[in-house]
Amino acid sequence: MTKTLTEKRALVTGGSRGIGAAIVRRLARDGAHVAFTYPSSRDRAAETVKAAQAFGARGIAIRADSANADAVVGAVERTVADLGGMDILVNNAGVAILGPVTEFTIADFDRTMAINVRAVFVATQAAARHMTVGGRITNIGSGAAERMPFAGGGAYAMSKAALVGLVKGLARDLGPRGITINNVQPGPIDTEMNPADSDFAKGFLRLMALPRYGTVDDIAGMVSYLAGPEAGFITGASLTVDGGLAA
């Protein structure tokens, strides 16, 4: 197996479960040392650390709430201190709070924006101060930025659409320094929060070109590709991985 990310140093926010944990595993499998943040479950974080270490990588779990800007910056600084620098940032942490617009609370709106938008900017700003030529930043957006096929997701879709504009703008800031920034926009992915065998999933499947939910590894593979040497000419892009939902 060719390890395309050998000795690279990465931080994945929200990396203890689901898509985030799959990204940690894939980056480690491809040779990177990986730190990741988690909000609460030490047991889940410990499992992810062990999974990274099984590939011979260093795995570091950092407890941090992405709604807290200081905690986000602290996670970046600890990653740099413990791993000796940072080459890869994956802004994966996110929340999906759904509800009709007439009942959606300002508190839920503020938390959605704090985690899905502000934390991405804060982590990117902090990481960019340490990155050099070849740095890679990837945000986990959502296909909802392009298409929201059900009611109640307005604030969530708005937060993910904001990332589309963010990477276009920051690509201009970071490009002259040889750093790329992109979004990966998952469609329906089989996770604990959105299982492929649920009644909710049946509605999605009727809208998709491929008759299946995606896997967390489908997303992790795209993230690893963007972090690697073959993706050096991709920046400012939002790459949808949705089984044809938006086709």
Annotated active-site positions, please? 156
Distance CA 213, CA 244 (A): 11
Closest to 217 in 3D by CA, of 23, 87, 86, 74 = 23
Residue type at position 169? G
Taking the CA atoms of 195, 224, 67 and 179 in sequence, report the sign of the dihedral they define. Answer: negative
Q: What separation in angstroms does the CA of 28 have from each of 4, 74, 174, 239?
A: 10, 22, 25, 22
The DSSP 8-state label assigned to residue 212 in this structure reads S
DSSP secondary structure letters along 5-44: TTT-EEEETT-SSHHHHHHHHHHHHTT-EEEEEESS-HHH
Question: Is the Cβ–Cβ distance between 212 and 138 less than 8 Å?
Answer: no
